[in-house]
Amino acid sequence: MGTLPLHVTLLGAGQVGRALARALGEDCTLRAARRSWPKQAFAPGLLLLCVRDSQLPDVVARLATEAWRIEAVGVAHVSGVQSFELLAPLRPFCSGIAQAHPLLSITAAGGASFEGASLLVEGQGPVVVRLKRLARRLGARFVDGHGVDRQLYHAAAALLANGLVALFDTSSSLLAEAGVPGDELERLLVPLAQSVVNNVARQGSLRALTGPVRRGDASTIERHLKALAGRPPGEQALYRAAVAAQLRLARELGEARPAELRRIAELVRKPRSAR
């Protein structure tokens, strides 16, 4: 006898909820969290709370007072930073509680492909089994999140996903200042960014490092800093922080002369006027 279809109810029609609804297609119901809920219970299966972190306590409180709605569902939230224990008031009424965070950049403009992405899950009860089935349906990797420090995990994810956008924007600004036409900026930077991601995927971040820091080329770093001297302080600080982070990789690679790496470290320390 085959496994019955897993029905997923998505409560919250924001970016994540809509992206999941597009990816799941059939056997999926998308409901706005702020509108009146149906008079009947949620369909048996899985209830995913796709609301903002600030909304979660209110949604949980309402579900706890209307517990008859969740008797046949496992409940999970998709927040990356909140523990699944935030759902503890619902534990006596449903078939398990969990956190299920898709490690993916999801924007308001378009659908996201969950293929190959990771779904970090921590929870208790049959809901975990249902989340494994959900991951398979999405083409995502199920990752056991028990024991993971949520705050550091989410900081790491935000640093890459959102920091990369900030780096891209800053690089675009510098290219425009350098005289590159506006319609060429993305054509130049997108393939560059993609080549870096491909190198990391093939070789790991250590071997993917290229450029003047890996070579210990302090003179080039000094030229960069002089060119940035008239730019906004935030751009200068971003460049200095990025170079400082590369130094650990360059030291581990061991290709550059230690004296040159020490010179680079001195160059990117905060200017005396900023100390």
The pLDDT tens digits of the residues spanning 20-63 come to 999 998 889 999 988 778 889 999 999 999 999 999 999 999 99
What's the distance, CA 238 to chain centroid? 20
Place of tokens 């780096």: 167
Residue 85 C-beta-side C-alpha neighbours within 13 Å: 3
What is the C-alpha separation between 126 and 8, in angstroms, rounded? Answer: 14
What is the C-alpha separation between 11 and 97, in angstroms, rounded? Answer: 15
Confidence of residue 1 (pLDDT cuts 50, 70, 90): very low
CA distances (Å), origin 119, targets 5, 122, 133, 172, 255? 20, 10, 11, 32, 37
Least reliable range by pLDDT among 2-16, 118-132, 182-196, 247-261? 2-16
Strand partners, 121: 100, 144
Q: Which tokens is 143 given?
A: 């990752």
What is the reported pTM? 0.89
